[in-house]
Amino acid sequence: PVLHRLNGWILSYEVGHLKPNPAIYHRALEMVRLPPSEIFYVDDRDDLIQAAHSLGFQTHRFGGFEGLAGELRSRGILNG
């Protein structure tokens, strides 16, 4: 139910880098033209969360839909 709200993807094979290489996160910033502090990054791996967080992204460790949905609601990203 959340994925249909997304409007872009960054695929590692297109960028030529894998996470946690900072280049892939910088590509995301170029794509959305926002500062890292305005990006909400979700992943299920702590090392990838830390990499994004160290660049200034807001982060959330995915542990299931309910937790993510609650986090999205608390940030005003998801209603209901």
Using the predicted structure, report yes or no on whether residue 2 has a pLDDT greater than 90: no
pLDDT in tens, 19-50: 999 999 999 899 899 999 999 999 999 999 99
pLDDT in tens, 57-67: 999 999 999 99
Which of these, 14, 44, 43, 42, lies nearest to 30 by C-alpha position?
Answer: 14
- Burial letters for 43-76: b for 16+ Cβ neighbours within 10 Å, e otherwise? beeeebbebbeebebebbeeeeeeebeebbeeee
Which residues have CB under 8 Å from 65's CB, separation 6+?
Answer: 2
